[in-house]
């Protein structure tokens, strides 16, 4: 390489290296901020109002505070996330089972519905042949305000999952919270729901462990 070109190349290399050195120190700070955000946790103070009654399905009589539609024995000890009982919907061909509860959402925001769900299915693949749909209905239960989610039967799902939906848009309203499981004519799917909650008074907590 000619000496001039070599010198220019070396200068360019130093400049590039310098640029790298200049930007390198900023990276850990950005990474640290990302870690802070990722590690920020929600906590619900003990004084939060209980919005969903019997959300763990343990109260007596079975199904207290819940309205069951499509069958009258939808609370079961067959599979539970906590305690002894959970809602058990579906499991029959051409079935349409729902549990619903009328709740008054607090005026605070944010508001989140959370619950644990699980399922077993003979479907060969994840698909919407059989579904668990979560909705908010209006106060007299006659129309849908929001379809919060449609959970599909999935043969690969092997454990309970926690699901949360933001319902802040409906704060202060009286609504029905509904879980509806539908099975089509074959490959039956069994849906389980437990520990249903509405948390209304979240707090952001700073990291204290680092
Ligand atoms: Ca339970």
For residue 110, the model assigns a pLDDT of 85
Using CB atoms within 10 Å of the CB of residue 111, give its burial: 0 to 12 exposed, 13 to 18 middle, 19+ buried: buried
For residue 143, the model assigns a pLDDT of 98
Question: Would you state the structure tokens that stand for residue 21, as one six-digit string?
Answer: 């050195």
Measured in Å, residue 195 CA sits from the centre of ligand 1 at 6
Average pLDDT per consecutive 10 residues, the chain (210 residues; last block may be shorter): 44 38 38 46 63 97 97 97 98 97 92 96 96 98 98 96 96 97 97 93 54
What protein residues have CB closer than 5 angstroms to ion ligand 1? Answer: 56-57, 80, 82-83, 86, 194
For residue 45, the model assigns a pLDDT of 56
* Distance of alpha carbon 178 from alpha carbon 67, whole angstroms: 9
Q: Residues 120, 196: contact at Cβ < 8 Å?
A: no
Which 8-state DSSP code applies to residue 57?
S
Instruction: Name which of 117, 134, 114, 116 is nearest 182 in CA terms.
Output: 134
Measured in Å, residue 47 CA sits from the centre of ligand 1 at 22
Using CB atoms within 10 Å of the CB of residue 196, give its burial: 0 to 12 exposed, 13 to 18 middle, 19+ buried: buried
Measured in Å, residue 170 CA sits from the centre of ligand 1 at 26
Assign 126 to helix, strand or coil.
coil
Question: Would you state the structure tokens that stand for residue 160, as one six-digit string?
Answer: 């309970």
For residue 70, the model assigns a pLDDT of 97
Using CB atoms within 10 Å of the CB of residue 74, give its burial: 0 to 12 exposed, 13 to 18 middle, 19+ buried: buried
For residue 83, the model assigns a pLDDT of 98
Measured in Å, residue 56 CA sits from the centre of ligand 1 at 4
Instruction: Name which of 174, 153, 17, 183 is nearest 92 in CA terms.
Output: 183
Measured in Å, residue 87 CA sits from the centre of ligand 1 at 8
Q: Please tell me the pTM assigned to this model.
A: 0.75
Measured in Å, residue 43 CA sits from the centre of ligand 1 at 21
* Distance of alpha carbon 84 from alpha carbon 65, whole angstroms: 17
Measured in Å, residue 6 CA sits from the centre of ligand 1 at 74
For residue 205, the model assigns a pLDDT of 52
* Distance of alpha carbon 66 from alpha carbon 69, whole angstroms: 10
Measured in Å, residue 194 CA sits from the centre of ligand 1 at 5
Q: Residues 118, 155: contact at Cβ < 8 Å?
A: no
- Contacts for 74-78: CB closer than 8 Å, 24+ residues apart: 74/99, 78/190, 78/192
Query: Could you give the C-alpha distances from 49 to 46, 163, 197, 202, in angstroms and in order?
Result: 9, 20, 10, 12
Measured in Å, residue 118 CA sits from the centre of ligand 1 at 12
- Which string of DSSP letters, residue by residue, matches 3-54? HHHHHHHHHHHHHHHHHHHHHTTHHHHHHHHHHHHHH-EEE--TT----STT
């Amino acid at each position: 390489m000619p000496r001039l070109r070599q010198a220019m190349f070396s200068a360019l290399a130093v400049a590039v290296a310098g640029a790298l050195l200049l930007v390198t120190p900023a990276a850990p700070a950005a990474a640290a901020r990302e870690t802070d955000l990722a590690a920020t946790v929600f906590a619900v103070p003990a004084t939060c109002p209980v919005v969903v009654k019997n959300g763990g399905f343990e109260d007596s009589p079975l199904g207290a505070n819940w309205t069951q539609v499509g069958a009258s024995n939808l609370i079961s000890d067959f599979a539970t996330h906590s305690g002894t009982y959970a809602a058990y919907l579906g499991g029959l061909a051409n079935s349409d089972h729902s549990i619903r509860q009328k709740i008054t959402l607090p005026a605070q925001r944010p508001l989140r519905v959370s619950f644990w769900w699980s399922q077993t299915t003979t479907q060969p693949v994840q698909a919407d042949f059989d579904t668990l749909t979560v909705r908010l209905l209006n106060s007299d239960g006659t129309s849908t305000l929001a379809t919060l989610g449609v959970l599909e039967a999935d043969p690969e799902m092997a454990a309970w999952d926690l699901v949360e939906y933001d319902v802040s848009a409906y704060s202060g309203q009286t609504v029905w919270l509904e879980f509806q499981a539908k099975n089509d004519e074959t490959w039956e799917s069994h849906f389980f729901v437990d520990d249903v909650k509405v948390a209304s008074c979240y707090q952001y907590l700073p990291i204290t462990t680092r």
